Structure 1
């Protein structure tokens, strides 16, 4: 199998990329997404999750401290060993690849420190890359600027700031975000809910910062639509 230890090269994809981590992974969902012809990359030892599910891997990326060579691995799978220890294997997957959208499974759940590290990566790369993370309950889009989406009335909608951020307005939420400054340790927007079918959330345009838009995980396709066709919400 090909091996690449060069830190400068990057794998480029023209479609959404699935990135696997060692946390909770819904195997049925993984197979469904792979059936859409989305390529799959594993962060180090998470390769064994894909192999157990019979899902082919385009690449394994990481410092290779938790991947054990497996005879079932395809010869076409690229091994990208990155020795530096300043970043997590998830970060290595992000900076060694380029894709229009990242659907990240197994970055949340099981170990809380790994979940925190995933949020660190979301803040670090959330402006330059379109990121979606999933666990067994929620789907999380890392967004900035303005977003608009449709969900049934009563759907749980959470907004969580990765950095202090000024919200311009919201529409369709039970508890409006109009004019609020959201910041961890001060004011957050979790456990809100939709009171209209159409929801809009708009940040102050002068300094948009990445924030988490969190929905129940059955709305994955809605967040894929947001991330792949990101259109600013118009003022109401």
Structure 2
């Protein structure tokens, strides 16, 4: 689990931490963890947001300072974490510019599976081939970050034969009509689901070995 510095719900933070094998804070995320009594396994960032008190309370070997300002703390963390799946909490909500920057980072490291969790939604960069079991009628949105094509099963409005791009056709507000299968020709499509779909999404990813290669 990777914790950012956006406004968080303490109960959700504790719940998500219970799903993770390790907890990492992105800079100011260490203060969010400290507020609920969770000790991070690592803290990564340039340390321009974390409080001096939170940093001073860390045991030796936990702080990983990355002294450069050319990337966000989310970027710094994702490129230094090796895990089958990262749950990112504290990167959606609050500021739109931070959300957009986080989405860009997802496309920069397509081989590093990361699900961003918000209060209403979860989103991730869709893998090459994904099968999902979700309740009929569930909201399923697709948003392209570049030109991308794909095929679908189990959607009310199929995407086969469509060319998606952010300044033209997008795939928001689709709905589940059966067992879902999504396939894409490039690591450029965001999958956006209700937050209630987190557990089914994690199970689907666990059963999906194929991922995008590093750029």
The number of residues matched between the two structures is 209
Tell me, what secondary structure is at the counterpart of 1:140?
strand
The residue that corresponds to 1:101 in the other structure is 85
Give the gaps of 5 or more residues in structure 2. Answer: 211-215
Query: Contact (CA 8 Å) 2:106, 2:124: kept in 1 or not?
Result: no
- In structure 2, which of residues 184, 195, 199 is the aligned counterpart of residue 217 of structure 1? 195
- In structure 1, which of residues 187, 194, 200 is the aligned counterpart of residue 181 of structure 2? 200
Q: Does 1:78 align with 2:62?
A: yes
Shift of 1:36: 3.7
Cα distance in structure 1, aligned partners of 2:168 and 2:19: 41
Matches within 5 A, 1:70-219: 70=53, 73-75=57-59, 78-125=62-109, 127-167=110-150, 169-196=151-178, 198-204=179-185, 208-219=186-197
Tell me, what secondary structure is at the counterpart of 1:108?
coil
The residue that corresponds to 2:26 in the other structure is 43
TM-score normalized by the length of structure 2: 0.91
Query: Contact (CA 8 Å) 2:149, 2:162: kept in 1 or not?
Result: yes
TM-score normalized by the length of structure 1: 0.83
Tell me, what secondary structure is at the counterpart of 1:195?
strand
CA RMSD, aligned part only?
A: 1.7
The residue that corresponds to 2:52 in the other structure is 69
- In structure 1, which of residues 22, 25, 30 is the aligned counterpart of residue 5 of structure 2? 22
Cα distance in structure 2, aligned partners of 1:147 and 1:64: 37
Shift of 1:69: 2.4
